[in-house]
Amino acid sequence: MMRNWLAAFLFGLISVVQSSAYAKDLPDFTELAEKQGPAVVNISITQNMRAENAAPFPGFNGDEQMQEFFKRFGIPLPGQIPGPNCQAPGQNGAQPEFKSQSLGSGFIISSDGYILTNAHVVADADEVIVKLSDKREFKAKIIGADKRTDVALLKIEATGLPKVTTGDPSKLKVGEWVAAIGSPFGLENTMTAGIVSAKGRALPQENFVPFIQTDVAINPGNSG
């Protein structure tokens, strides 16, 4: 009996030691979140559209459960739900106009209001609103966008803003831990983590642009 009890105790002790050693190898992203999180912004895009040109929300195809999820959190479904400015068709049979909204993320690169995001996030936008981590909102101007690299530069009229610290991608190694901060499903300043899966990736049928591939969880609203 004593021998069985001792064996069980030693097994439990070894398991605890192994778990502690494993925990020490896991990355701690708390400092990263504190330093870089305030420089990550939420981007809301509005497009004036006609019903005939409206496209369903990418990836969901009208799924009732996903629509219920979006409604519960107050997230608009672009291309599906007409806004308050919806107009009735005229006698000439014109399609009603409405405002389509979509969401994305971005990060501040200079304290005077320059912000980087993805070009597809702000493509064809009639209005771009940037919401900071301190809940302030600003209208943004699109300074420029490059479809090939999917990068866009925005500008808001503000000063003294927190900005991200950029790193050297050439020093990044496959297998290293990485984290993403964004606004998936409109849930601002959400952090997810993963590893670098590959470097130097290029999109099909595009000129070579060395993208970094990761397995970090990315959802609608994280773009940017």
Q: Which residue has the higher pLDDT, 142 or 3?
A: 142
Does the active-site annotation cover 102? no
54-96 per-position pLDDT tens digit: 555 444 445 555 555 555 555 555 444 444 444 444 445 555 5
Of 44, 105, 150, 183, the active-site residue reads 150
Does the active-site annotation cover 112? no
Helix/strand/coil percentages in the chain, nearest 5? 25, 30, 45
* Nearest alpha-carbon partner for 185 in 85, 98, 59, 61: 59
Direct distance between the N- and C-terminal alpha carbons of the chain, in angstroms, rounded to an integer: 62
- DSSP states along 44-79: EEEEEEEGGG--PPTTTTT-HHHHHHHHHTT---TT
> Whole-number mean pLDDT of the chain?
77
Residue pair 106/130 in contact (Cβ under 8 Å)? The answer is: yes
Is 40-88+96-155 the same fold as 30-36+165-214? yes
Between CA 100 and CA 215 the distance in angstroms is 30
Q: Which residue has the higher pLDDT, 49 or 96?
A: 49
User: Does residue 137 register a pLDDT over 90?
Assistant: yes
* Nearest alpha-carbon partner for 125 in 107, 106, 141: 141
Two tokens, residue 154: 């925005």
Between CA 132 and CA 1 the distance in angstroms is 64
Candidates 2.40.10.10, 2.40.160.60, 2.60.40.10, 2.60.120.860; correct CATH number of 30-36+165-214?
2.40.10.10
Half-sphere exposure of residue 87: CA atoms within 13 angstroms, side-chain side: 12
Q: Which residue has the higher pLDDT, 217 or 18?
A: 217
Q: Which of 104-108, 174-178, 193-197, 198-202 has the lowest mean pLDDT?
A: 198-202
What pLDDT is attached to residue 26? 80
What pLDDT is attached to residue 181? 93
> Facing residues of 107 across strands?
40, 116
What pLDDT is attached to residue 70? 57
User: Does residue 17 register a pLDDT over 60?
Assistant: no
Between CA 51 and CA 89 the distance in angstroms is 10
Q: What are the extents of the domains in the chain? A: 30-36+165-214, 40-88+96-155
Does the active-site annotation cover 25? no
Task: Provide the CATH topology of domain 40-88+96-155.
Answer: Thrombin, subunit H (2.40.10)
pLDDT confidence band for 220 (50 / 70 / 90): confident
